[in-house]
Structure 1
């Protein structure tokens, strides 16, 4: 066997091993997600997760780390998908897909509202789970702060992609971010859904129209209103 064939064989083995580890990690995270949602953080054991995933404890520790690590991975997966390890990157990718090739600011802000409502809806359980988990394992407070920081980073990234030419001239970049941060926050979402009794679709409509009115030049807001009337 020549050196090229040997190298190719090792490469294929390495890639097969990486793919196997990836599938195992996804299976563990999905199993953990089901159990955390059903039982809560405290009542979910690593043994239960491995039994659900059909792997050994050693495999869990090698693929994901501790129970705390698995919990963090499950929360991130809820935001961005089962293989997501970077919350802001996953949200940016979803936003890019939602916007498509339409450069219009109203279309962009509607996409922002749609994506952030979807992410907030998907992560509702983990906001509750983190609050409960911190009560029994205070070190998880650091992870919860990191999750919130990641969510803020995703919002800031969304703000920086808004075409400046369509924004009101009196707004700077930080004000745009603060507007998004305040209106698209999970706290506002929870208040509208739980206390005001509105649906996620109703919140999305309110969020998009409010962002357009708050951030864009008058002609954009008026055009969006006329489009909504036609719809």
Structure 2
């Protein structure tokens, strides 16, 4: 009698399982990122335990570490998400996004128009990112690694400022380009926004007008 062949097993769809696993991990990271942006501002970086973030996201502490590696990495990612709107700080994504926003905000091609567009875009970012700026500055005082990260973010703003000024009709007619970049970097910076809006109490509209005037004076010929 002929032997009955064993029933062949259907091959497992490992590719589909792998893709499903990756999707689940990305969603877990996203949930933790959202939780971090909500939890860290309440007590600050140093006083917030990872268990509070994990609980808010509905996952275990072990899952948090598997997803992000450390409390510091998750905190930094949450700050970048608030600063950039999408977490993309690296070029060319962040710079391209800013250029698109500037183009959309500009109503003409004079130096004044470019300064007004930059002031408008900066105010939009500042209103969203002001809590994150304060959070990471405070955290930098207690964690040297976060202090290094804040320095990196600040210097990247300088690089981006230099690139944006290249699109202006007259980037630096009076001062040299480096001086112009430094001036715009400081004027359209988180410290200036904090002083004028938070400390001085100016409205966003008043600050935007002030910033437009200040940028135009800094870049105007003579």
User: TM above 0.5, one fold?
Assistant: yes
- Decide whether the 8 Å contact of 1:167 with 1:217 is kept in 2: no
Question: What does the per-residue CA deviation read over 1:157-185, in whole Å, with 9 as the maximum and x for residues that have no partner?
Answer: 3222223xx44634433232122112112
Give me the whole-angstrom Cα distance separating, in 2, the residues matched to 1:171 and 1:212: 12
- Among 91, 97, 101, the residue aligned to 1:97: 101
Matches within 5 A, 1:1-231: 13-81=17-85, 83-86=86-89, 89-90=93-94, 92-100=96-104, 104-105=109-110, 106-163=112-169, 166-167=170-171, 169-216=173-220
The answer for unaligned runs of 5 or more in structure 2 is 1-10
- Decide whether the 8 Å contact of 2:79 with 2:136 is kept in 1: no
Give me the whole-angstrom Cα distance separating, in 2, the residues matched to 1:126 and 1:16: 33
- Decide whether the 8 Å contact of 1:80 with 1:87 is kept in 2: no
Q: CA deviation at 1:127?
A: 2.9
Q: CA deviation at 1:67?
A: 0.4
- Decide whether the 8 Å contact of 2:158 with 2:182 is kept in 1: no
Q: CA deviation at 1:10?
A: 5.9
Change (3 A) 1:131 1:217: closer
- Structure with the larger helix share: 1
Q: How many residue pairs are counted as aligned between the two chains?
A: 208
Change (3 A) 1:153 1:23: farther
Q: CA deviation at 1:38?
A: 1.3
Q: CA deviation at 1:16?
A: 4.2
Q: CA deviation at 1:203?
A: 0.9
RMSD of Structure 2 on Structure 1 (CA): 2.8
Q: Which region of structure 1 is more displaced relative to structure 2, 151-160 or 179-188? A: 151-160
Larger Rg: 2
Q: CA deviation at 1:39?
A: 1.8
The answer for unaligned runs of 5 or more in structure 1 is 1-5, 219-231
- Decide whether the 8 Å contact of 1:87 with 1:154 is kept in 2: no
Q: Structure 1-normalised TM-score?
A: 0.75
Q: CA deviation at 1:34?
A: 0.6
